[in-house]
Amino acid sequence: MEGFVQTVEGQTKLLVPKLSLTERVPPKMPAFFNPVAKQSRDLSILAYRAFAPRLKERTLADGFTGVGARAIRVATEVPEIERVYGNDANPTAVEAAKKSAELNNVSDKCRFSVNEVCKFLLAGNDEGERFGIVDLDPFGTPAQHVDCVLRATLDSGLVSITATDTTVLHGVYPEVCHRRYYGRPLNNSYGNEIAVRLLTSMIALTASRLELAIRPMFSHSTMHYMRVYAQVSVSRSGANKVYSNIGHVMHCFSCGHRFSTAEYAAEVACELCQHRMRVGGQLWTGPLHEKEFVAKMAENADGKSKKILDAALDEIEIPYYFRGDEISSKLRTNPHSIPRIIEKMRAAGYKASMTSFDFGGFKTDARLDRIIEVLR
């Protein structure tokens, strides 16, 4: 194909637009391919390999397949998945995906279509049935497509949903965030975790309206990607309990104090400095990682993926974190190493861990003033 070149990602040969490998911002025409998203796709492969044994039907649907980077990698690198369905509105991209399938000798297990994403998802597989895994990786927000993703997923299947509208989820446009994700963002040092939790909450609330329940299996924030992997179950009782995992994070932009709460409170004075605190959420405050699943992913991981997964395995279940440089600034000292901070907090009797959302951060159940006391 004119303007396309062959590249290799993971164990897969891909036909991609030549300019996507040289331009700082990959062009959308003649087709879109983002080489920087390799990390996200690497984690997808690990997740799908780990989840495949749980599937009733080993099929995967990729609603925004582009040139097929994720779909072809799944077909090539996840032999447990028996059939892969890729769809895109751009016929040139789909043509490239078909040729990549041929390059990797997986054409027999791949099906490609040119369609609007919801029409594609709701049409189902070759037999008109739902899919075992549904992957949604759009430009910007996934909000308008989440209903379709959930409806297209089998009971006990897996959804993996990306949001790349970073400026919205990180608080630059709070009104837009509230409209799309039903919660208020926090533009602060741990805003990437708040973003993931807003995305998870929106998926959970949408599912509950459909009498479905979700169980987050793994989540990550890598560069401008926020991504959630969640198991979907048909369950009225589970849908009724959705708010047991949804709450708020309160943050003081004066001193940095933070805590989570189940109830919304607009007027809260900071315990430490008496300034008015800001509300983040409503958002998902429950676990973001199923430890057994993440451990299974980590078995086949290396490099940065292994580092992310190892941190997720150790991560304590608190819906925010502290950055090491934030604490050293308050102490007016050189930065403490994160392992040393964790060691000291644990020695003082607190829970503490690294966080998979930021290798320069840590989680602890200690209040900010207690952290300062321990590390001083």
What DSSP assignment string belongs to 11-40?
A: TEEEEEEGGGGTSSS---SS----GGGHHH
Sequence letter at residue 126 = D
Separation between Cα atoms, residue 265 and residue 368, nearest integer Å:
20
The amino acid occupying position 337 is S
- Domains of the chain and any CATH numbers: 4-244 (3.40.50.150)
What pLDDT is attached to residue 223? 79
pLDDT of residue 291: 97
Q: What is the pLDDT of residue 335?
A: 85
- Residue 241 has a pLDDT of 97
Q: Residues in the chain, how many?
A: 376
Using CA atoms, how far apart are residues 215 and 87, in angstroms rounded to an integer?
26
Alpha helix (H) ranges present in the chain?
38-51, 69-77, 91-103, 117-123, 146-151, 166-169, 174-181, 191-209, 236-240, 291-298, 303-314, 324-331, 338-347, 368-375
CA quadruple 120, 123, 127, 129: dihedral sign = positive
Query: How many angstroms separate the CA atoms of 156 and 154, rounded?
Result: 6
pTM above 0.95, yes or no: yes
How far apart, in whole angstroms, are the C-alpha atoms of residue 85 and residue 94?
11
pLDDT along the chain (376 residues), means of 10: 93 95 88 93 98 96 97 98 97 97 98 98 95 96 98 98 97 97 97 98 98 98 92 98 98 97 91 97 98 97 97 97 96 92 98 97 97 95
